[in-house]
A and B are shown apart, each in its own frame.
Chain A
């Protein structure tokens, strides 16, 4: 990948990592505080942000998850590098 595209991919992925981390943390918090309205509202907002970011990432750089991937193209980009353990 060209350097500029690579940097953009990295920064978009980082945005997704940030939002998805907040969702994981809030998910665990809600397990023991299931009626906390502030946390419920925050979760609901962040889910929408995550979906938007993931959609934008997948359109440009291929699937993050196969379950929700629209495969009506003529290839299977799931198998494309980089994988998460590759130095980015």
Chain B
């Protein structure tokens, strides 16, 4: 069960459109290491978690990732909304415009639509948590490249916040890995 809170987790107020940046930021909406992939990964995997700590953590991080989907979608919306046809053509976004107009659609930076094939959900919780730790690192690296590409502080600021969350989530998943490993090593009496 979820409820909607009518606010962003962190403010996004981009006053100046930038189609090239929108195109690149799409990576973190519908790309392999993006926020949608992260959220669905954790929210699918949580059912295989054996301990209260790991069930809680995957639920809570999976939920926070949905708030990040909303932040990234907001960035895309604000970067694209005032674009002219000439700007769309110049940015190489004519194919995107043909299929979606200026709407926010979950695809990657090259326009490939989002797919759940970007993540796994297995019955082995250790396997899942290793994937989750790798996912956080890959997302952190992607945010660093986006920050390198950006020059508007209104764009850089939320990207820095999102990068920092990847670092924290990696740390938390490391702690969950320890908890689940300890749980699996406990003596079993039959």
Interface positions of A (Cβ within 8 A of B):
13-14, 16-17, 20-21, 24-25, 27-29, 31-34, 63-67, 78, 83-85, 87-88
Q: Which residues of A contact B10 (CB under 8 A)?
A: 17, 21
Once the chains bind, are A65 and B11 in contact (CB under 8 Å)? no
With A27-B60, A87-B78 given, can you name 16 additional A-B contacts, CB distance below 8 Å?
A16-B7, A20-B7, A21-B10, A24-B64, A28-B61, A28-B64, A28-B169, A31-B53, A32-B57, A33-B175, A63-B6, A65-B3, A66-B4, A85-B8, A85-B12, A85-B70
- B6 contacts which of A28, A33, A65 (Cβ < 8 Å)? A65
Given A17-B11, A21-B9, A32-B53: A85 and B74 interface contact (C-beta under 8 Å): yes
- Which A residue's beta carbon lies closest to that of B67? A24
Inter-chain contact count A-B, CB under 8 Å?
71
Once the chains bind, are A32 and B168 in contact (CB under 8 Å)? no
Give bound CA distance, A84 to B66, whole Å.
14
Contact residues, B165-188 vs A (CB, 8 A): 168-169, 172, 175-176, 179
Give bound CA distance, A83 to B6, whole Å.
7
Given A31-B60, A65-B3, A85-B73: A17 and B172 interface contact (C-beta under 8 Å): no
